[in-house]
């Protein structure tokens, strides 16, 4: 598996774990905060901290592009099924 595919699969796993846990919080802010911290820890494991500012910048760019891609896919699927 190439690096980008592996990163994508790992990020999807983090988001899946977070969404499953957050959906059980029923609006409890402490529970949601704990889920958010778990998501951050999971994403840090996917993209370990680096002393290189270039790698940290790449990490942020990749995460943002992944979020926009997923949001776009969700928007399209919602449009198709409405």
Q: Measure the CA–CA gap between 16 and 10, rounded to whole angstroms.
A: 10
Contact, 59 vs 50, CB < 8 A?
yes
**Contact call for residues 63 and 43 (beta carbons, < 8 A):** yes
pLDDT at 3: 59
Q: How many domains does the chain have?
A: 1
- The pLDDT score that the predictor gives to residue 1 is 46
CA 11 – CA 71 distance, rounded (Å): 14
Whose structure tokens read 């409405």? 82
Q: 73 lies in which domain range? A: 3-80
Global pTM reads 0.60
C-beta of residue 37 within 8 angstroms of C-beta of residue 18: no
CA 34 to chain centre: 15
* 13 vs 56: which has the higher pLDDT: 13
Can you give the pLDDT at residue 10? 86
Higher pLDDT, 19 or 60: 19
Structure confidence at residue 15 as a pLDDT band (50, 70, 90)? confident
**Mean pLDDT computed over 45-62:** 71
């Amino acid at each position: 598996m190439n690096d980008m595919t592996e990163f994508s699969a790992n990020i999807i796993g983090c988001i899946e774990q977070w969404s499953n846990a957050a959906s059980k919080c029923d609006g409890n802010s402490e529970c949601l905060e704990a889920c958010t911290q778990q998501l951050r820890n999971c994403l840090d494991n996917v993209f370990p901290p680096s002393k290189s500012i270039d790698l940290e910048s790449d990490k942020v760019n990749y995460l943002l592009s992944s979020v926009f891609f997923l949001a776009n896919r969700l928007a399209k699927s919602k449009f198709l099924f409405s």
